Amino acid sequence: MYISEKAPAKINLTLDVLHKRPDGYHELEMVMTTVDLADRIDLIHTSHSSITLESSSGLVPQDERNLAYRAAALLKEKLGVKDGVHIYIHKHIPVAAGLAGGSSDAAATLRGLNRLWNLGLSDDQLAEIGAEIGSDVPFCVHAGTAVARGRGEILTPLPPPPPCWVVLAKPGHGVSTADVFGRLQVDQIEKHPSTEAMIEAIQNRDYEEINKHLGNVLEPVTMEMHPEVRKIKEKMLQFGADGVLMSGSGPTVFGLVKKEARAKRLVNGLKGFCGQVFAVRMLGVRYQGVLDQIRTK
């Protein structure tokens, strides 16, 4: 018996850091939303009690360092599950990119195992367990659109942003989130985004206002290390993006456009200039449908 779960990528429409906390983490305020670019997680029931993991991508660890593996191990331990699982990750989301690929794989593993192992946990309970794995995992458990506060685990749901296209461009290299936060000097942040203005823009389904209020205080930090981020932003604007921003700790830059033809123009303009380029739809809600069922082989 096996279950498949989609693990969608997220982008940050805003990312603000309020202060550094005594526990070493940063107090955040972020507006995040899911986009239609997803990994697929197959969870295959095994009769032995161990957890094994494989991925279509050689870029992610295939052992206990993988966040999906950790999610399975934590759930097994907390709930005293005797069964095992083989996790297969079909990787489509760029790795170390600021798109929460690893966190979303962990979240999808929690959702899927909740069904495969018949645990009966609510999404809130899964999100609470997910918070022990990583700060973005609770958002990824719920998916959709939300304001995330605290370390990232305190979530307030929002309606989806209006439909549009999201062009994602990732430079050839990845970025370590811990490294970016480590270099951030909170007292030297020049411009904080307005979380409130972004919330209002989303609630009003106002595409122009959403573009106007995009902001990420980690962007200058990552740009300093990787100047390509600035160049990609400039190119995206040149090719007609309505708004551009780096997502999370980067280095992926996204551009928003209304029309598919313009999204294609951006993709063509950026191809060859940076590592990976995709045009995907803004999703803003959880995936529904065909994958959300148990299958028997």
Look up tokens 């028997």; give the residue: 296
The reply to whether 177 sits near ligand C5P by the rule CB under 6 A is: yes
- Among 45, 151, 265, 286, which residue interacts with ligand C5P (rule: CB under 6 A)? 151
CB of 120 to ligand C5P, least distance (A): 27
Pairing of strands 84-90, 51-55: parallel
Identity of the residue, 24 or 58, whose beta carbon is nearer to ligand C5P in the bound complex? 24
Look up tokens 């429409």; give the residue: 13
What is the x/- site pattern for ligand C5P, positions 91-130, by CB under 6 A?
A: ----------------------------------------
The single-letter DSSP state of residue 162 is P
Identity of the residue, 134 or 243, whose beta carbon is nearer to ligand C5P in the bound complex? 134
Maximum pairwise Cα distance, the chain: 56
CB of 247 to ligand C5P, least distance (A): 14
- In 3D space, the residue among 5, 12, 10, 17 whose CA is nearest the CA of residue 182 turns out to be 17
Catalytic residue among 10, 91, 233, 235: 10
Establish whether 146 is an annotated binding residue: no
Q: What is the 3-state secondary structure (H, E, C) of 48-82?
A: CCCEEEEECCCCCCCCCCCHHHHHHHHHHHHHCCC
Q: Using the rule CB under 6 A, give the single segment among 2-10, 42-50, 113-121, 173-181 that binds ligand C5P.
A: 173-181
**What would the two tokens of residue 11 be?**
């982008």
Residue 54 CB coordination number (10 Å): 11
- Among 117, 139, 181, 207, which residue interacts with ligand C5P (rule: CB under 6 A)? 181
CB of 162 to ligand C5P, least distance (A): 28
Identity of the residue, 183 or 295, whose beta carbon is nearer to ligand C5P in the bound complex? 183
Q: Identify whether 10 is a catalytic site residue.
A: yes
Instruction: Give yes or no for a contact between 78 and 41, defined as CB atoms under 8 angstroms apart.
Output: no
Instruction: Give yes or no for a contact between 91 and 7, defined as CB atoms under 8 angstroms apart.
Output: no
* Secondary element (H or E) of residue 149: strand 145-150
Instruction: Give yes or no for a contact between 124 and 108, defined as CB atoms under 8 angstroms apart.
Output: no
- Among 1, 59, 178, 186, which residue interacts with ligand C5P (rule: CB under 6 A)? 178
> Distance between CA atoms of 93 and 102, rounded to whole angstroms?
9
Identity of the residue, 134 or 144, whose beta carbon is nearer to ligand C5P in the bound complex? 134
> Distance between CA atoms of 90 and 224, rounded to whole angstroms?
33
The reply to whether 25 sits near ligand C5P by the rule CB under 6 A is: yes
Look up tokens 């123009």; give the residue: 265
Establish whether 102 is an annotated binding residue: yes
Query: What are the CA-CA distances from residue 86 to residues 21, 75, 282 (Å)?
Result: 38, 14, 31
Identity of the residue, 178 or 261, whose beta carbon is nearer to ligand C5P in the bound complex? 178
Catalytic residue among 16, 42, 136, 242: 136
Q: Identify whether 136 is a catalytic site residue.
A: yes
Establish whether 194 is an annotated binding residue: no
- Among 15, 28, 68, 85, which residue interacts with ligand C5P (rule: CB under 6 A)? 28
How far does CA 101 lie from the centroid of its chain?
Answer: 5
- Among 8, 94, 144, 152, which residue interacts with ligand C5P (rule: CB under 6 A)? 152
Site for ligand C5P in 126-145 (CB under 6 A): 134-136
Active-site residues, by number, are 10, 136
Residues near ligand C5P (CB under 6 A) are 25-26, 28, 134-136, 151-152, 177-178, 181
Residues annotated in the binding site, as ranges?
Answer: 94-104
